[in-house]
Structure 1
Amino acid sequence: MMAIPAALSAKYKDSFAYKTVKDRMPVIVAKVADSVFRAQSTIKESHGEKGSEDLKTIAGCVSKLRNEMMTNKVLIPIEDSRSDTKTWNAYLTEVTTQEGQAPAWFTSPWLYVECYMYRRIQEAVEKCSCLTQYDVFRAEKEMALSGSQEAVHTLVKFLFSLVKEIEGGKESNTRELFDQFMQVCLWGNKCDLSISAGMENAQVSCPLAQVDTLREYVLINDLDLVWNQLQKTGPVRVDIILDNAGFEIITDLCLAEFLLTAKLASSIHFHCKAFSWFVSDVTKDDFDHTLSFLMSSNSMAMDFVCKRWKEHLQNSTWKIHTHDFWTLPFPYCEMEKRSNDLYMELAQSGLLIFKGDLNYRKLVADINWPASTPFVTSLQGFGPGPLVSLRALKADVVTGLREGQADEMQTRDSQWMINGNWAVMSFADKH
């Protein structure tokens, strides 16, 4: 990782609204405890007494975690046998050495602390005897998906008609459609259960009908650069670093299908989280559940795309990846050093699409950069390939704005950096 500029390092720990953070974190942990309590009868029926005891283990762990948060205790080592445990604990030692004291809940860099909270929740699951694959956020994610059915149907029906037209030889404006699908994929990110502290958050309308209206809320629109990148070499491998389950992953799948059908991409590689993360982030199980959910719909369009997507997976036109690095606390400028295998895998891509707020924060190292700092500068050397970040703003860090634009936005909407109403589509290619 490149050294944080001196002018920024002093702001590093103060770059986010900690009161909001303090309010939200215990709520998320409390909801985990509540969901575990409500699952008792179902789990006992399916897993017997061992399952019931496992739920008690999870409840006890998250209760302890909540107490540590509320009293601002120091962070403690992870105590399970996951493949990433040594990395987490080595980094805790590293941070303690750098800071001269052990990090604590509300006095340490937020990117690290927030990631640590979700890893501690997973630790509770890892300590179970038979529920080691249990997803404490599954109910919220399933509710978000089922509550988005109307929007899902609208988007899939549009895709179905478009694919039929393109493959039938009907002429279409590929460039205009590319912009439209990218913007739908962008605004699907408004559904984020970690921001709403796990409260119900479904997509009640499809962004397709809103793209033109929403365009003025995109503060940085680098789609011309993304389009030009895809035109350079013909169809290329495209990687999508996923964010949320629910409606958002539907927009990702539809974008992927459009890129293939329009011959802008030769293959799509999806990158999921290794375990349940930030409430609504996509795991491999969420990916599979989404396809199962779509296949259960009584719709010609749904049936068509699901069969098509299953074929993509079977013939490896679509590939699904998981990697521990996505659920570690490190900014992406440290990926090449800490997870070189993942960095080299991404380097095979012709375009990397990073979805959502957390991915953006990790791209720019969660530093309080001046908003006019060039996006490529804030990446601090990260760049296994050309990349674009599609992100609705939900945390107060952003780069790549023109001089004075941040001040203009502050006058227009004092909550513009955190309310999810404004967005960026930022492109960078260091090569």
Structure 2
Amino acid sequence: MCSNFLPTAKMMATDQAVHGVPPSLSAKVVGSFAYLTVKDRLPTILTKVVDTIHRNKNKFFEEYGEEGVRAEKAAISLLSKLRNELQTDKAILAMSDGLEDADSWNQYLQRQQSLQGDQDSVSWFKSPWLYVECYMYRKVQEALWLNPPISDFDAFNEGKTQSFFESQQAVMALCTYLEGLNKNMEELSENQLFEQLHKLLQVSLWGNKCDLSISAGQENSQKTSPIDSLASLRPLILVDDSNMVWSTLISAQRPGQSGKTTPGRVDIVLDNAGFELVSDLVLADFLVSSGLAREVRFHGKSIPWFVSDVTASDFQWTIRQTMAANHKWMSKSGVQWQSYVKEGVWSYHDHPFWTLPHEFCDMAADAPDLYATLQGADLVLFKGDLNYRKLTGDRDWEHTVGFDMALRGFGPAPLCSLRTLKANVQVGLQPGQGEKLSTQDPDWMTSGKYAVIQFYSPHAEQ
């Protein structure tokens, strides 16, 4: 519910009837993608977390002695209990770890209890899918946090690191392409500049296929040169608003001193580490070096999240690894990126709101500081599927409902979603487009095969 008061179930029903807000996707629909995720994928991910913690037992012993082993056992015990609660559809419990976001989580639980009518009905299979999935990752953090000295252990780090190294060929190809582009930047006409922006938006878009949570942590890297694949992937982009992104960047240029224009600020709300993050950094490099942006702010997660999401340490590690690479253009890119960070042209930010279960239309009320930050951007790029689910509330929208309507009032700045489809929500399609896709490919909404570059501007409504 996008407001700062607790609604009753009756009010929620009225909201749906009057405003046409559909119900949240939920595992209570047996056989749905949400159901299969909660039933199969989430327990698999929890099992992998338990295995990872157990495999690091010797490391914990070497670093912390018996205390490390005790912490490992206690964390695994909490996670095994969590897996059992999930698989037996137990009630969702309040957070008790005292972390800064615990109150927000517990208020959200109360909100769900008032919507669903009683305490026990807020359970793994009966509640919104987005909520219970986020809850699981937050409980993984709780299990570690309650067990110092292993509180800072990132159970997903091995997978993220492996994904980066297994994508080396693609990273090299991308950095080589960027080098050629930067060399000839001065000679590019406006049309050619737009073409290059379009290309790198697509590279960043398809980088989103490298998602470890959708594969439950299985190997998921980029092997081929992403530039070479773009032409064959073009027909799979269901909505392509790249021209709106271009015109937003152009109109954000303001007259500066001595007749020169000053470009605007672009914020990128990140998704996955590994190859996808590199594709985002390459796009950000191009935005700055082409003069389409003067500053890029990256927004990531403050805790390990959805298996492969970017944290501050992933961001810094990726730049360091790129700098240290035994490849001329890759290391040159890394050095450039490090200097962007040093000079403040690039900056990394995280905020507890990104790891709460709220849909983004709650942001203005629940995280006004973050909303105000985004209002300072001329364009906000939202990467990936989870951000799209939060943008649209992860609800059972008709495919033809406008993107603007599904945002339900969220619009701090012009925004664009770069997303490969991995969940049963997609809006802004042409009449008949969704039905045609369902006939051709029943899994079109969840396979990651299709994608959108979907734009909305609050300014267009003024």
TM-score, normalization: structure 1? Answer: 0.97
1:98 and 2:98 equivalent?
no
Cα distance in 2 for residues equivalent to 1:216 and 1:91 = 40
Report the aligned-residue RMSD.
Answer: 1.4
1:427 and 2:435 equivalent?
no
1:198 and 2:226 equivalent?
no
1:225 and 2:244 equivalent?
yes
Change (3 A) 1:164 1:132: same
Pairing partner for 2:130 from 102, 111, 123: 111
1:158 and 2:177 equivalent?
yes
Pairing partner for 1:47 from 49, 55, 64: 64
Contact 1:186 1:392 in 2 (8 A): yes
- How far off its partner does 1:170 sit? 3.4
Amino acid of the residue matched to residue 335 of structure 1?
Answer: M
- How far off its partner does 1:81 sit? 2.1
| Deviations 1:236-258, CA, capped at 9 Å, x for gaps | 10000000001000000000000
Identity %: 43
Cα distance in 1 for residues equivalent to 2:174 and 2:209 = 16
Contact 1:241 1:352 in 2 (8 A): yes
| Deviations 1:288-344, CA, capped at 9 Å, x for gaps | 111122122112112211111111111110011000000000000000000000000
Within a 5 Å distance, the mapping from 1:31-42 to structure 2 comes to 31-42=48-59
Deviates more, 1:325-334 or 1:138-147: 138-147
- How far off its partner does 1:51 sit? 2.2
Contact 2:23 2:396 in 1 (8 A): no
| Deviations 1:155-201, CA, capped at 9 Å, x for gaps | 011112211222xx433511110000000000000011111111111
2:420 is matched with which residue?
Answer: 392
Cα distance in 1 for residues equivalent to 2:67 and 2:315 = 28
| Deviations 1:68-96, CA, capped at 9 Å, x for gaps | 01111001111212110111112212211
Amino acid of the residue matched to residue 421 of structure 1?
Answer: K
Contact 1:155 1:206 in 2 (8 A): yes
2:377 is matched with which residue?
Answer: 349
1:320 is matched with which residue?
Answer: 348
Cα distance in 2 for residues equivalent to 1:426 and 1:81 = 38
Deviates more, 1:138-147 or 1:239-248: 138-147
Deviates more, 1:356-365 or 1:299-308: 299-308
1:142 is matched with which residue?
Answer: 161
1:280 is matched with which residue?
Answer: 308
- How far off its partner does 1:8 sit? 4.7
Contact 1:16 1:110 in 2 (8 A): no
2:127 aligned counterpart, secondary structure: coil
2:6 is matched with which residue?
Answer: none
1:309 and 2:337 equivalent?
yes
Deviates more, 1:224-233 or 1:256-265: 224-233
Amino acid of the residue matched to residue 297 of structure 1?
Answer: A
Change (3 A) 1:10 1:390: closer
Amino acid of the residue matched to residue 319 of structure 2?
Answer: L
Change (3 A) 1:190 1:10: closer
2:272 is matched with which residue?
Answer: 244
Change (3 A) 1:131 1:325: same
- Which contiguous aligned blocks of 4+ residues in structure 1 show a shift greater than 4 angstroms? none
| Deviations 1:252-304, CA, capped at 9 Å, x for gaps | 00000000011000100000101000000000011111112212211211221
1:146 aligned counterpart, secondary structure: helix
Contact 2:236 2:451 in 1 (8 A): yes
Contact 2:60 2:150 in 1 (8 A): no
1:271 and 2:282 equivalent?
no
2:260 is matched with which residue?
Answer: none
Contact 2:144 2:150 in 1 (8 A): yes
1:257 and 2:268 equivalent?
no
- How far off its partner does 1:37 sit? 1.0
Contact 1:26 1:69 in 2 (8 A): yes
Cα distance in 1 for residues equivalent to 2:39 and 2:225 = 33
Cα distance in 1 for residues equivalent to 2:55 and 2:134 = 26
Within a 5 Å distance, the mapping from 1:358-369 to structure 2 comes to 358-369=386-397
Change (3 A) 1:407 1:104: same
1:190 aligned counterpart, secondary structure: coil
Amino acid of the residue matched to residue 161 of structure 1?
Answer: G
Contact 2:145 2:151 in 1 (8 A): yes
Instruction: Please list every run of 5 or more consecutive structure 1 residues that lacks an aligned counterpart in the other structure.
Output: none
1:125 and 2:144 equivalent?
yes
1:379 and 2:396 equivalent?
no
2:16 is matched with which residue?
Answer: 5
- How far off its partner does 1:57 sit? 2.1
- How far off its partner does 1:413 sit? 0.9
- How far off its partner does 1:11 sit? 6.4
Instruction: Please list every run of 5 or more consecutive structure 2 residues that lacks an aligned counterpart in the other structure.
Output: 4-11, 254-262
Change (3 A) 1:298 1:243: same
Contact 1:81 1:126 in 2 (8 A): no
Contact 2:203 2:230 in 1 (8 A): yes
Change (3 A) 1:247 1:11: closer
Contact 2:299 2:350 in 1 (8 A): yes
Amino acid of the residue matched to residue 82 of structure 1?
Answer: L
Amino acid of the residue matched to residue 44 of structure 2?
Answer: V
Cα distance in 2 for residues equivalent to 1:94 and 1:375 = 26
- How far off its partner does 1:202 sit? 1.1
